Structure 1
Amino acid sequence: MSYRVQENFKNTRLQDVFNMIRHVTLEPNIINVTIVHALTLKVGCFADLRAATSLLTVYSRTGYFGSSMALFDEVRDKDTIFLNAMMSAYIENKWFDVAFDLFVKMIGEGIQFDPTTLVIVISSLSNNKSLVQGQLIHGLSIKAGMLADTFLSNAVIDMYAKCGHLGSSEFLFAEMERRDIVSWNSIISGCLYNNRHEKSLWYLKEMNCSENRANGVTISCAIAACTCLQEFGVGLAVHGWGIRLGCVESHHIAVANSLISFYSQFRDVNAAECIFEEMVVKNVISWNAMIKGLALNGAVQEAFNLLHDMQFVRSVEPDITTLVTVLPLCSELMLLREGKSVHGFIIRREIGSELSVVNCLVDMYSKCENVEKSEYLFWTMPKKDLVTWNTMISGYAQNGRSWEAQNLFKKLLSWCSTCTLPTLLAILPSCESPESLEFGRSIHGWHQKLGLLNDILASNSLMYMYICCGDLLSASTLLCRISAKADVTSWNTFITGCTQKSHFWEALQCFNFMRQKFHIDYDSITLVSVVSASGNLELALQGKLIHGLVLKTPSGLDIRVQNSLVTMYGRLGDTESARLIFNHSHNHNLCSWNCMISAFVQNEDVKKALELFRILDFEPNEITISTVVSACTQLGILEYGKQIHGHVFRFGFDKNPSISAALLDMYSNCGRLDVALRVFHSSPEKSVSAWNSLISAYGFHNNTRRAIETFKEMIDSGISPTNSTFVNLLSVCSHSGLVDEGCWYYDHMFSKYGMLPATEHHVCMVDMLGRSGRLHEAYNFIKKLKIPPDPGIWGALLSACNYHGDLDMGREVADILFSLEPENVSYYVALCNMYVAAGRWEESVNLRTIIQDKQLKKTVGYSLIDVGLILVNHLPSPVISQLPVNHLRHLPSSTNEGRRPVKEFQDLLRRSKICSQFFNICSGVQSRSSGVHTPRI
């Protein structure tokens, strides 16, 4: 084509050359532009400024801005049009400051400007957000009498809006004598840009009453305003209006893009996909909007599939916006594999130098718990901005690497003498323990230094930091200081923080203070926290009162609130109320089922827990499986445990450390220590819970030596012990009579392992000393405790006194327990047994009389027998004596509950195809018994 153009236009006329230049301007192509440029020089019409101006513009639009600059330098006699073209080229290539400098130089040289010049200059200042210089140009346009030009006025309106001075835009718009559609679009989009969405729709209504007719830009802005205002009905009306005006046709790409975002925001992803599919021409914004819409509606796989399809469309290519849309999705959902794929795409397209993209990659790897990769990216970046530092600091803090986060924050201060609110919000989560309190206070100092005392978000974060560090006084002081302007989020921060850090009383007190004095309306987050606090404190009355508040507010329909109520009633032992809430909830999620199953397990109603698991509507997760394994552990039936173990492999949870620990406990309690050991050794990641379970398993099977060796192996492997570790260890020493070893572990808990002894450790020590007959040592141990002894500690000593027959000490300890827990019948029974053993019948009778007068009742124990897959309670003793050993699973105690007829029991056994031996035994018992030992299912 190049040779043909040269041959055809060798002897062309001057006017034909200009026609060619205009044609190339419409369809820029660097080869054709170069040929036309050469032809222009050959025929001698380059001296004409019209030709030079057109060539300069075409070079800029084809991406060869260097040629435009060279051409600009070659022309000596420059006029206004030529200078306007050069300034436009500068703006096209984002050289805004240079464009303004050229205008200043133009004024300095006395070259006249026209309204088009001012429009171009205003455009550069709008992009640069240079308000002061924009005001100067505004004044210059008034002085030159050019503001009457509608194009110039529209540009000034747009400039003020983009510089954040919407009032100036509105004033100028009101003063305009003639308004065209661009004028209305400028003020409507200006309101939208400044987050004045209601006013944007108001101007739309006003425009509809004028003589101007809306176009695609108007409809697009209106749809965007409806999206931001969450006005679905208004958005549908605007959509219909756009259809009537013919602005929703396939060629109106901006309108279609806005509609995709609109319907995606309102969870109607099908409508968004329909619009996307009907678009004949799609630009990169269309693809980005649809990918973001799919991600917003949880269609993660579809979003990645669309990204994959986008790469095979010739007319578009994924840009930076595409990547910064997909990478946060990988971050939030912890999709490390997909994130790495996007990273590979970034490397292939050689756009890894873009700062915003690398910042997203650092954030993605941090949230996917791959901090080492984030570190590598951070330290190898050629340039960093404050967002980069904040992202890395936050990544360290969120992954529990507080020291690295605080050290990097100090380096940031040496790199940049100041920090911003996002920096403080990034570093504050690193202050999560009392050891970080001083550092947290220094961050509070920075907060005051930056003048953020009135910033609610910063104050909320500082409040939560103080709660995490155990300084409730500072947190409450800060809450009182901002109470005049505090919203429900501030109060929720304090209440939720106290609940998470086990300050339950403080959470409830703050809730009452918030309602009674400040009359703040609570929300679902508040209710979840106070319900949880009531459950943890086992305050039945308080929990029911809050339940009443839940029923009076729409927040009570929130699934999170209902789940927290189920959990609370489970902790209160009221599984019937928990089941009632669960049954009346219309929007169960997996958490709902987990809460209900856990409530049954906590209250040892294992059979109902397994029945609920059997009809589970969702695919179980790790919490479900670990809860059900705990149920099998309580039940002590290996067959059920094996079935749940099969579920573990089926759902791929065999590598989960907490589930491995639960399985280990289950097999140990069911008598299969060998299988428990296999579970432990096959676990790829051995958590501290697994080690604790193994120590307990060896102790349960009376293998004291291996239990102590396991503890040493655990320490050698670098695992830090927990409270449960020492409870298991002290329990092993107590049951094995290793008193000296147990005392050594107790004495070195804090000095060597950094663990403060708690109530459960004190109970183990008293039990250990009491079992070995060292009752006075146990008594003195209790008296020397720095905290008031828990009733369980005295109860362990009373049990030891009963075992060794020390009536004097037993009576003294019993008197203490009667004052602490007067309604606990087990203490009376223990003392009564001691009186009987000592022959003190009169005291025993008197104590029995007290028990009857107080109407105290001991909880009736029960056991289960596993026959195949049926749990049989309270079988008659003749049946039990003849059952095979492998059918027995704990002998039940008798109660006065009603019993089912033997015939019904026989029918059930026939239907269940139980072995004939068992059925014959039951039949024989029926013929010999008088009905006293009727079996009960």
Structure 2
Amino acid sequence: MQTWVVSQLQLKHHITRWTFQNLVLLQFRPRSSSSFYSFSSQNHKNMKFSIVPRKNVPFFPRHPSLLSCYCRRFCIAIHLFDKMPQRDFHVRDVHFELVVDCIKLSLKKPNIVTATVVHCAALKIGALAYLPTSTSLLTLYSKAGGFTSSRVLFEDIHIKDAIVWNAVISASLENNCYRTAVEFFQKMIKDQTRFDSTTLLLMVSTLSHMKNFVQGRVIHCVGIKSGMLVDISLCNALINMYAKCGDLNSFDSECLFDEMEYKDVVSWNSIMRGCLYNGDSEKSLYYFGRMNFSEETADHVSLSCAISACTSLGELAFGECIHGQGIKLGYKDSSHVSVANSLISLYSQCAAVEAAVTVFREIAYKDIISWNAMMEGYASNENIHEVFDLMVEMQTTGSFQPDIVTLTTILPLCADLMLSREGRTIHGYAIRKQMLSDHLPLLNGLIDMYSKCNLVEKAELLFNSTKERDLISWNAMISGYSLNKYSEKAQNLYKELLCYGPNCSSSTVFAILSSCTSPNRLNFGKSVHSWQLKSGFLNHILLVNCLMQMYINCGDLTSGFSILLENSSIADIASWNTIIIGCVRGEHFQEALETFRLMRQGPSFNYDSITLVNVLSAIANMELLNQGKSLHSIALKSPLGSDTRVQNSLITMYDRCRDINSARKVFKLHSSSNLCTWNCMISALSHNKESREALDLFRRLQFKPNEFTVVSVLSACTQIGVLRHGKQVHGYMFRNGYQQNSFISAALVDLYSNCGRLDNALKVFRHSQKSESAWNSMIAAYGNHGNGEKAIKLFREMCESGTKATKSTFVSLLSACTHSGLVNQGLQYYECMLEKYSIKPEAEHQVYVVDMLGRSGRIDEAYEFTKGLQSNASSGVWGMLLSVCNYHGEIKLGKKVAEKLFEMEPQNVGYYISLSNMYVAAGSWKDATELRQSVHDQGLRKCTAYSLIDVGLG
């Protein structure tokens, strides 16, 4: 046996520790044998006692099934203690205090088993009648997650004071039972128990969570009537309540703050956080400024609020001033990391990434928020590699593991950049850490990531496997189906959402309308339009624009334009651009120009680079040079004249309008813009037969060539038959991995074919991806070399492969039939174009039909075919017929055709020369002389012809 002399406080501690952890039996032996020691005596500070520990008694286990066993042991201990002769003395008060002390110790690590054991002990010694004991036990149950036990214990208390009521209301609030807290307060009022400021403080906090502004104002009034608003904590809580109820700007909250006689730092922080909560960052900075002139000094919360306000407003300079103030106040150390975290967000938002990194690296003890803020900063400034590097550093050197915020920060990057492997890695990590069970934002991010990475099956599996879905989940899956062209699945899921899911939002409308992209989806799009009208989803211009886009995508341009006119009062630039872009994409170029004209007539005419680029595209396709120059002057009068996209569109417009000199001038002013500008100029030169200049410009290229550059250069090489340069470009293509580009393959086939190397053209074709352009080029190559049968065979092979024939395909095929004399086959293909392949014959096809008939001597049929076209016959068709007449010496028919052409294109000198040559061949020198004199009188001149030969290795 061991003996100690201890103080009364130490005695309480040892009794509590040994009794409730090791279940010891205590035997007390007083220092004097003649009298017993009174526990309540204050005169004796020390006493002598013996402790006989019960050996091999384990700690209390957490498993509930053993609870009754250890409760029984504890009761036995108390029972034996009661049977001691010394127990007859006055020790009851000390027992109660010991229980309260034990409960306070247990509150540090609340546990339901400990709470139950203490409850049993209190029942045994009758300590529950002691209000501090029952109140503390009620709180212990609440913190241990046993709110039901707290309520039962509360009901068993017969005499309740304000502290007991406050305890049970606090327990309700702590366990998120807000309505229960309100009910307890109502009962408290009915029992006529006098409440205090703590009671009102708890009720204000409860109503803040409930966002119940009406009852909150009642509590405010009660506080005014009872004179309890002198409590600063209560006033601060009321300010927070008004903020969370969205009523920060109301007269009540402003007056409450201004009427506070004394404001502590929490008061200022409350009003500043309330401003931020309601999106009023300017007012938050206003109160921060007032605080600096008051007696209160800003703390880390004040600085964080002010920096967050600067972040929202993009006020970098003001934020830097607050940064300096924080350094002066000593908030740079690691104990106030929240200030540094706010600074990281500020600098990142203002694109000062280096400053954000500096702040981040200076934090001695970073928390997970610091790492997440820096990763978010990198992501918002498109420093993608740094985001992933920082995440690895966080796990290796920072001893932190990614949390939900980390994953939801990185997932959008994986989605936008189509980083499916990284996205799947995040998914696997979330599964291992069991994060998917109760975190819908993460689940929705994964669905969005898989959808944008073209892995819609995985997104679908994830969506179907989850039991709990919110509206964002539905919208993400519908958008994923639409994005991946699963229109029917998107529409079926939308119907299911209307029947069983939550109420739709505007995001749902955006997602489902994007699935209507073809004429056969128009009826469904109209039904969605009707649903929008009934549900009131047409009150925002973005939804109106989306609806117009749907009609345009479905081919109903008229309805889209009608919606624009109906909403012209709220239409913005995007609304007009939607119609203009739709017209250009649908090749309704005249309608696009008409829309732009109406746009300019508006009261507040405005436009952007998208407007100009698309209008220039329409002008280019219609070859309206004068209108193009007018639009160029409009662009020069605004800052958009220096926009790179507008400049590139101007070069392309002048290219299509055959004004290469104007294209050169535009390029000369902006030649250092980017690679796209150089590509446009090289393409313009190649398209206008300035092939050598195109090659020379390619040699002086200031950027690394890409696929578009290669295609334009190959086209220039093809025009002048420079095979050796084409071979060099071919080698460059292989070195840079462009061999799988179908357009480059088609250009190479054209190059080798035109340079007489059909064998090389065939090799390129066989080793390339079989796109529509590659098929067309190879068919044309066979035709140019007189292998019409092989061209027809290749066309059939193309159809069998599933590649859809286009109008360019039939141009190549009819050309092959013409050069090979396969007249009947060519006519058959021309006749079945519309019926079998849904391709409307155009002037290019009709030219080859006339040429085909003329070469075979069937001139009358060619003439009848051309007359049958009536007004649809272009000058090219009549010009081909004139060439046929010239070839066969049909002077009478040729004169008739020439007169027709003179009416259509009186300035085309070629027609006069052809007719003159016919007169000379027939010996009619007088007519030839008169015709040439007429050409001279009109000032027409024939372009000088020339021939080229490439001297070098072939």
Q: Paired residue for 1:264?
A: 348
The one-letter code matched in structure 2 to 1:508 is L
Q: Paired residue for 2:651?
A: 566
Q: Paired residue for 2:780?
A: 696
The one-letter code matched in structure 2 to 1:385 is D
Matched, 1:518 2:603: yes
Higher mean C-alpha deviation, range 106-115 or range 700-709: 106-115
- 1:52 positional shift: 7.2
Distance 2:323 2:786 in 1: 76
Matched, 1:486 2:571: yes
Change (3 A) 1:572 1:170: farther
Is residue 106–residue 114 contact of structure 2 (8 Å, CA) maintained in 1? Answer: no
Matched, 1:542 2:627: yes
Q: Paired residue for 1:159?
A: 241
Q: Paired residue for 2:541?
A: 456
Distance 1:549 1:232 in 2: 36
Is residue 327–residue 360 contact of structure 1 (8 Å, CA) maintained in 2? Answer: yes
Q: Paired residue for 2:401?
A: 317
Distance 1:830 1:401 in 2: 57
1:896-921 deviations in Å (ceiling 9; x for gaps):
xxxxxxxxxxxxxxxxxxxxxxxxxx
Secondary structure (helix, strand or coil) at the match of 2:335 reads coil
Number of residue pairs the alignment of both structures matches: 863
Change (3 A) 1:155 1:441: same
Residues 585-734 of structure 1 aligned to structure 2 (within 5 Å): 585=670, 588-683=673-768, 685-734=769-818
Question: Pick from 179, 186, 190: which aligns with 2:270?
Answer: 186
Is residue 447–residue 458 contact of structure 1 (8 Å, CA) maintained in 2? Answer: no
Matched, 1:466 2:531: no
Distance 2:387 2:842 in 1: 51
Distance 2:163 2:340 in 1: 36
Secondary structure (helix, strand or coil) at the match of 1:517 reads coil
Matched, 1:214 2:298: yes
Change (3 A) 1:436 1:825: farther
Distance 2:139 2:870 in 1: 86
Question: Pick from 150, 155, 161: which aligns with 2:232?
Answer: 150
Is residue 516–residue 524 contact of structure 2 (8 Å, CA) maintained in 1? Answer: yes
Secondary structure (helix, strand or coil) at the match of 2:347 reads helix
Q: Paired residue for 2:321?
A: 237
- 1:866 positional shift: 3.3
- 1:58 positional shift: 7.6
- 1:292 positional shift: 1.6
1:711-749 deviations in Å (ceiling 9; x for gaps):
222222222222222222222222222222223222322
Is residue 538–residue 572 contact of structure 1 (8 Å, CA) maintained in 2? Answer: yes
Is residue 466–residue 472 contact of structure 1 (8 Å, CA) maintained in 2? Answer: yes
Name which one, 1 or 2, has greater alpha-carbon Rg. Answer: 2
Matched, 1:793 2:877: yes
Distance 2:695 2:181 in 1: 75
Change (3 A) 1:45 1:857: farther
Q: Paired residue for 2:931?
A: 847
Change (3 A) 1:30 1:186: closer
1:510-546 deviations in Å (ceiling 9; x for gaps):
3333334323232333233333333333232322222
Secondary structure (helix, strand or coil) at the match of 1:252 reads helix
Distance 1:58 1:612 in 2: 83
- 1:212 positional shift: 3.2
Question: Pick from 339, 351, 362: which aligns with 1:255?
Answer: 339
Higher mean C-alpha deviation, range 439-448 or range 108-117: 108-117
Question: Pick from 317, 339, 362: which aligns with 2:447?
Answer: 362
Secondary structure (helix, strand or coil) at the match of 1:546 reads helix
Change (3 A) 1:515 1:95: farther
1:630-653 deviations in Å (ceiling 9; x for gaps):
344434333333333333333333
- 1:303 positional shift: 0.7
Is residue 216–residue 255 contact of structure 1 (8 Å, CA) maintained in 2? Answer: yes
Secondary structure (helix, strand or coil) at the match of 2:872 reads coil
Residues 874-889 of structure 1 aligned to structure 2 (within 5 Å): none
Change (3 A) 1:847 1:487: same
1:368-423 deviations in Å (ceiling 9; x for gaps):
22323323323333233222222222223233333333333333323348532211
Question: Pick from 387, 392, 402: which aligns with 2:472?
Answer: 387
Change (3 A) 1:515 1:216: farther
The one-letter code matched in structure 2 to 1:648 is M
Query: What TM-score does the superposition give when structure 2 sets the normalisation length?
Result: 0.82
Distance 1:384 1:777 in 2: 70
Change (3 A) 1:816 1:91: farther
Question: Pick from 423, 433, 436: which aligns with 1:349?
Answer: 433
Is residue 265–residue 296 contact of structure 2 (8 Å, CA) maintained in 1? Answer: yes
Higher mean C-alpha deviation, range 324-333 or range 235-244: 235-244
Q: Paired residue for 1:435?
A: 520
Distance 1:571 1:93 in 2: 73
Higher mean C-alpha deviation, range 419-428 or range 624-633: 624-633
- 1:272 positional shift: 0.8
- 1:124 positional shift: 4.4
Question: Pick from 841, 844, 862: which aligns with 1:757?
Answer: 841
Matched, 1:768 2:827: no
- 1:276 positional shift: 0.9
Is residue 52–residue 71 contact of structure 1 (8 Å, CA) maintained in 2? Answer: no
Change (3 A) 1:391 1:796: farther
Is residue 859–residue 885 contact of structure 2 (8 Å, CA) maintained in 1? Answer: yes
Higher mean C-alpha deviation, range 575-584 or range 476-485: 575-584
The one-letter code matched in structure 2 to 1:158 is N
Distance 2:358 2:727 in 1: 49
Distance 1:406 1:445 in 2: 15
Q: Paired residue for 1:501?
A: 586
Query: What TM-score does the superposition give when structure 1 sets the normalisation length?
Result: 0.83
Distance 1:596 1:514 in 2: 30
The one-letter code matched in structure 2 to 1:693 is S
Identity of aligned residues (%): 51
The one-letter code matched in structure 2 to 1:742 is G
Secondary structure (helix, strand or coil) at the match of 1:272 reads helix
Is residue 788–residue 822 contact of structure 2 (8 Å, CA) maintained in 1? Answer: no
Residues 67-146 of structure 1 aligned to structure 2 (within 5 Å): 67=146, 70=149, 73=152, 76-77=156-157, 81=163, 113-135=195-217, 137-139=219-221, 141-142=223-224, 145-146=227-228
Change (3 A) 1:60 1:468: same
Q: Please report the RMSD computed on the Cα atoms of aligned residues, expressed in angstroms.
A: 3.6
Q: Paired residue for 2:832?
A: 748
Q: Paired residue for 2:666?
A: 581
Q: Which runs of 5+ in 2 are unaligned?
A: 1-13, 27-50, 52-93
- 1:275 positional shift: 0.8
The one-letter code matched in structure 2 to 1:486 is A
Change (3 A) 1:497 1:4: farther
Distance 1:19 1:268 in 2: 54
Distance 1:344 1:329 in 2: 17
Change (3 A) 1:521 1:52: farther
Secondary structure (helix, strand or coil) at the match of 1:430 reads coil
The one-letter code matched in structure 1 to 2:410 is V
Q: Which runs of 5+ in 1 are unaligned?
A: 869-885, 888-937
Matched, 1:397 2:482: yes
- 1:456 positional shift: 0.9
1:758-779 deviations in Å (ceiling 9; x for gaps):
3333333333333333333333
- 1:670 positional shift: 3.6
Distance 1:675 1:97 in 2: 83
1:470-516 deviations in Å (ceiling 9; x for gaps):
43333333222222232333233333333343333333333333334
Distance 2:678 2:102 in 1: 74
Distance 1:36 1:314 in 2: 38
Secondary structure (helix, strand or coil) at the match of 1:757 reads coil
Distance 1:780 1:661 in 2: 36
Distance 1:621 1:543 in 2: 28
- 1:805 positional shift: 2.5
Is residue 37–residue 55 contact of structure 1 (8 Å, CA) maintained in 2? Answer: no
Q: Paired residue for 1:877?
A: none
Distance 1:53 1:670 in 2: 100
Change (3 A) 1:459 1:843: same
The one-letter code matched in structure 2 to 1:601 is S
